[in-house]
């Protein structure tokens, strides 16, 4: 199959059919930030931090590079003023949920995002879905999942599965861009371990 030629940041880039803009850029050594992307997982497009400007079919639009297919003649700009501004706001919003995330703080420095711009709502999770998808797609254990929707959406472990599978795996921990996952696991674990039974109570028996 012949290569697709597209332009990224003024550079001609050759991509294989089926590649995304992100993959094409990566192969040409052009960095696009990502948070919810993982090479072993199907593209998901949750965080939008990889947003780039793309001209296709006479129109300019903002697309998620990790999802958008590389097309012939596509013209992509990865660092325009508008793109930078979008990333900055996205980071500020995510930081209101996960104020201590090192990954986010590092990007915030790069894009001049103010971590304190929005009121803190520490859910500690930015719903990138890396843990959920890794467990389902790679490990096929389905131990962790999204619950609820909208503003209440959150990740949780299915205790019955977690108790069997997670202890020896924990491969999702390092994927999490915040520390929410670990916290959720620790919580699940503590709920699963019954509190130690006092060996003899004496309460009732002593009362006869």
Neighbours of 110 (CB within 10 A): 13
177 binds, among ligand SF4, ligand FES, another protein, none (CB under 5 to 8 A by kind): ligand SF4
- Residues at the contact surface with ligand FES, assessed by CB under 6 A: 34-37, 45-50, 64, 66
CA distance 92 to 101: 12
State in angstroms the smallest separation of the CB of 192 from another protein: 15
Q: Does 40 bind another protein (CB under 8 A)?
A: no
Residue 15's nearest CA partner among 30, 31, 28 is: 28
**Binding pattern for the stretch 149-168 against ligand SF4, x by CB under 6 A and - elsewhere:** ------x-------------
Contact 143, 158 (CB under 8 A): yes
**CB nearer to another protein: pick between 140 and 200:** 140
Beta strands in the chain (DSSP E): 4-8, 11-15, 51-56, 59-64, 75-77, 144-147, 154-157
**Binding pattern for the stretch 107-146 against ligand SF4, x by CB under 6 A and - elsewhere:** ------------------xxxxxxx---------------
80 binds, among another protein, ligand FES, ligand SF4, none (CB under 5 to 8 A by kind): none
5: three-class secondary structure by DSSP: strand
Q: Does 42 bind another protein (CB under 8 A)?
A: no
Under 8 Å CB-to-CB from 128, ≥6 apart: which residues? 35, 36, 44, 46, 47, 176, 177
Q: Can you give the binding site for another protein, defined by CB under 8 A?
A: 132, 135-136, 142-149, 156, 158, 160-161
């Amino acid at each position: 199959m012949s290569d697709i030629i597209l332009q990224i940041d003024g550079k001609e880039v050759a991509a294989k059919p089926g590649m995304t803009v992100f993959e094409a850029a990566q192969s040409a050594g052009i960095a696009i930030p990502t948070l919810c992307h993982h090479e072993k997982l199907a593209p998901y497009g949750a965080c939008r931090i990889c947003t780039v400007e793309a001209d296709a079919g006479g129109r300019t639009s903002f697309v998620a590079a990790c999802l958008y297919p590389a097309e012939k003649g596509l013209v992509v700009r990865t660092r325009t003023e508008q793109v930078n501004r979008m990333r900055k706001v996205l980071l500020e919003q995510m930081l209101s949920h996960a104020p201590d995330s090192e990954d986010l703080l590092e990007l915030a420095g790069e894009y001049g995002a103010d971590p304190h711009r929005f009121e803190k709502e520490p859910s500690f999770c930015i719903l990138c879905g890396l843990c959920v998808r890794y467990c389902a797609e790679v490990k096929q254990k389905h131990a962790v999942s999204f619950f609820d929707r909208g503003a209440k959406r959150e990740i949780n472990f299915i205790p019955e599965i977690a108790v069997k599978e997670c202890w020896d795996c924990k491969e999702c921990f390092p994927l999490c861009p915040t520390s929410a996952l670990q916290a959720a696991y620790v919580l699940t674990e503590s709920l699963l371990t019954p509190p130690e039974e006092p060996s003899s109570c004496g309460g009732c028996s002593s009362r006869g």
